[in-house]
Amino acid sequence: MGSISIKTDEDIAGMRVAGRLASEVLDFITPYVKAGVSTGELDRLCHEYMVNVQQTIPAPLNYCPPGYTPYPKAICTSVNDVVCHGIPGDKVLKNGDVINIDITVIKAGYHGDTSRMFYVGQPSILARRLTDITYECMWLGISKIRAGAYLGDIGHVIQQHAEKAGFSIVREFCGHGIGKIFHEEPQVLHYGRPGTLDQLQAGMIFTVEPMVNAGKREIREMGDGWTIKTRDRSLSAQWEHTVLVTETGYEVLTVSAASPAPPALIEESHAGKPAAVA
């Protein structure tokens, strides 16, 4: 484990802006997510909005970690059994589909990273339950964040909630530190044991982004080198926020006017506590 950067006040201010802008791309694209639209069209609309309206840079476009080919699009669109990194293209959304749209923008050198699930028309009961449980998993993980807590606390509560519902946690992908660099330390596992791994300090910023499968946790990589699917072709869901560790709790940085509210179980557990959702 390399060193985890502690962000300055200037960094935090920049990350607040980038986080809000990333979330606003999801607000913008929401009305376009419906049956008959292609994932490529969603990408085109988001790309134009980022570049022309926000003057942000889409971080995924041409992103090329070691061992990968450059990612060819501005957003990730992961439909149904796609776990993550689905490449937008000719796929046309149909009634009953569920899709994760993952946005990362760069503004003034800072990265804002967030994703949401969307229903196309009427989802199945399973798709709705999986999506809801995954959303609760993300927020339960976030609720454990404060200076002095441990990364293992986050992973543990996420894993417990998903598995209690009969679902499974993808283990090959995790949350990550973020700032002027897209992916940095720490790795934020979505499974684990309380009181283990790195201790959190105020000023750390990282993503919490559980990927939860309706079936087994095993995955497979498609021939494009990016798209990851469930091996058993079961549905998968993911939500993502970028979060700042504070002395008393956390601040979610990827919020905007139309962000979904935290689930009731979080608001209840945080009643009267000083942790901010700003």
Tens digit of each residue's pLDDT, the chain (278 residues): 458 999 999 999 999 999 999 999 999 999 999 999 999 999 999 999 999 999 999 999 999 999 899 999 999 999 999 999 999 999 999 999 999 999 999 999 999 999 999 999 999 999 999 999 999 999 999 999 999 999 999 999 999 999 999 999 999 999 999 999 999 999 999 999 999 999 999 999 999 999 999 999 999 999 999 999 999 999 999 999 999 999 999 999 999 999 999 999 886 555 334 344 44
Q: With beta carbons less than 8 A apart as the criterion, state whether 249 and 145 touch.
A: yes
Distance CA 185, CA 5 (A): 8
Side chain identity, residue 23: S
What's the confidence (pLDDT) of residue 2?
Answer: 57
Side-chain-facing half-sphere of 262: CA atoms under 13 Å: 22
Give me the domains of the chain, ranges plus CATH numbers.
9-269 (3.90.230.10)
- Sign of CA pseudo-dihedral 4, 6, 10, 15: positive
What's the confidence (pLDDT) of residue 273?
Answer: 40
Token pair for 12: 């935090």
Q: pTM of the prediction?
A: 0.95
Beta strand ranges found along the chain (DSSP E): 57-58, 76-79, 82-84, 98-107, 110-119, 168-169, 175-177, 184-188, 205-208, 211-213, 219-221, 228-230, 236-238, 241-245, 250-252
What's the confidence (pLDDT) of residue 34?
Answer: 98
